[in-house]
Amino acid sequence: MELLEVKNLTKKFKGKKGDVLAVDNISFSASKGEIFGLLGPNGAGKTTTIRLIATTLAPTGGTAVVGGFDIHKHPAEVRRQIGVLTTDIGVYDRFSGRENLRYYGHLYGLEGQDLENRIDELIKLLDMSDFTAKRAGKYSTGMKQKLAIARSVIHDPKVIIFDEPTSGLDVIASQTVIAFMHRMKELGKLVVLSTHQMPDAERLCDRIAIIHQGKLIALDKISVLKEQTNTQNLEDTFLKLIKQKHLRSEPQEEQEQKKGMTGDSKIKLIRQIRIASLIVLLIGIAAFFIPSLQQYSIVTNALILVGALGAVVTKTYFKKYK
């Protein structure tokens, strides 16, 4: 069985301006000792796919199986199998690098000398010994990135997912990250790399999946895809595949999204008025039942009346705009 199996994974975000199909029926699988690339333009759905696999988001359809554990049935076990480096890295500023790592170690169930040994190992591997005693608030972007990488693999996971690990890094820091990924591959891990950086992908990935508007539009070895599209470098391959896809798909979805825009601010206003009316109504009703306020019954009745009226009127408007 493959280490990572993604089957018909789908995620629809429900929004005020209409729904967004961020991940649309994606399937692929990847195995140990492989670096698997997840490529796609901005907003393609890469991060969402990763979050679905890592169980921080729940899919609206399909499933994924990581190391034999289904994301629906054993989410905690799945999280144990995976180490994820998120795009936006954040570290606990008031803790030192080592304290940061220790905290995550504890959360993964590691303790005592085993944990300290693991931390030391990662510090050496990522060349962090100069700064792990300092508070993380004083770190540079590169230092933070290294700390985030160390944190994501503290529990020695089988599957390592890196979401744009080299964005914002200089050449030297990038090299460290790339070397780290190679090392993980050598150790028999599955590395999933989501990136925009075509040269990185070209150098590192055994196979790539190209995602565009939530759909999987290509999945194969880089050399095969180049051959299919008759291109020399991955960037051209990528652009050509995306263009082909555009010609085929109808731009119907985008029009649908625009329609909802005009009524949006009105709906917001009406919703606020509606909430205010309901609050007034509640206050009125509450005041009505307090015996000592009965001499002010005109006020409480007025409150109830105004509140109820507001609620009914806004309700009809609500229906009209929706």
Binding mask 138-167 for other proteins (x = CB under 8 A): ----------x--xx---------------
Q: Strands 4-13, 20-30: parallel, antiparallel or unpaired by DSSP? A: antiparallel
Q: Is 280 in the site for other proteins (CB under 8 A)?
A: no
Nearer to ligand ATP, 182 or 215 (CB): 215
Binding mask 75-94 for ligand ATP (x = CB under 6 A): ------------x-------
Binding mask 18-37 for ligand ATP (x = CB under 6 A): --x-x---------------
Q: Looking only at Cα atoms, what is the longest distance across the chain?
A: 87
With contacts defined by CB under 5 A, name the span among 39-47, 88-96, 113-121, 244-252 that binds Mg ion: 39-47
**Tokens linked to 40:** 């796609």
Q: Is 165 in the site for ligand ATP (CB under 6 A)?
A: no
Instruction: Work out which of 39, 47, 81, 84 binds Mg ion, going by CB under 5 A.
Output: 47
Residues 40 to 69 in contact with ligand ATP, rule: CB under 6 A: 40, 42-48
Q: Which positions ≥6 away from 26 have C-beta within 8 Å?
A: 6, 8, 9, 10, 45, 49, 62, 209, 211, 214, 215, 216
Q: Is the dihedral of CA 247, 253, 254, 259 positive or negative?
A: positive
What's the alpha-carbon Rg for the chain, to the nearest Å? 26
CA nearest neighbour of 8 among 59, 72, 78, 54: 59
Amino acid 251 reads: P
Q: Is 82 in the site for other proteins (CB under 8 A)?
A: yes
Nearer to other proteins, 83 or 284 (CB): 83
Q: Which positions ≥6 away from 54 have C-beta within 8 Å?
A: 78, 79, 82, 84, 161
Residues of this chain that interact with other proteins (CB under 8 A) are 51, 54, 56-58, 76-77, 79-80, 82, 84, 86, 88-95, 103-104, 106-109, 148, 151-152
